[in-house]
Amino acid sequence: MYSHNLILKARSWALNGSHLRVFPQLTTNTYSYKSTGDNGKPKTKTLNYVNLVIETGNARHVGTQEYKQDTEMTDGINKIYVHYYLKAHPNENS
């Protein structure tokens, strides 16, 4: 994956300059996972998968890949921010 420094630069560039925005959009597909309930007992929870939406200028693109709402989604968002950042800054070394 990318360095933490590069991810921070890319996010800062995208959000502070209003160049790009990436956010999740729920799908109708779901997945289950095990967690601990408030009483400390195991509990199965259900969450929706998400698609990532990319807004650049006045264009809006909805991705087709579905992500779980965990580090899988965060990694996907970071990858998009870094991709666009490196396109705008091709000489960036990190």
Query: For residue 32, which amino acid is it?
Result: S
- Torsion of the alpha carbons at 41, 42, 46 and 47, rounded to the nearest 10: 90
> Is this model's pTM higher than 0.75 or not?
yes
State yes or no: pLDDT of 94 exceeds 60: no
Alpha carbon distances (Å) from 38 to 4, 48, 75: 33, 21, 29
**Confidence check: pLDDT of 13 > 70:** yes
Residue 61 to residue 25: CA distance in whole angstroms: 11
CATH of domain 4-88: 3.30.160
User: HSE-up of 57 (CA within 13 Å, CB side)?
Assistant: 2
Confidence of residue 17 (pLDDT cuts 50, 70, 90): confident
Interval 29-82: pLDDT, tens: 999 999 998 899 999 999 999 999 999 988 999 999 999 999 999 999 999 999
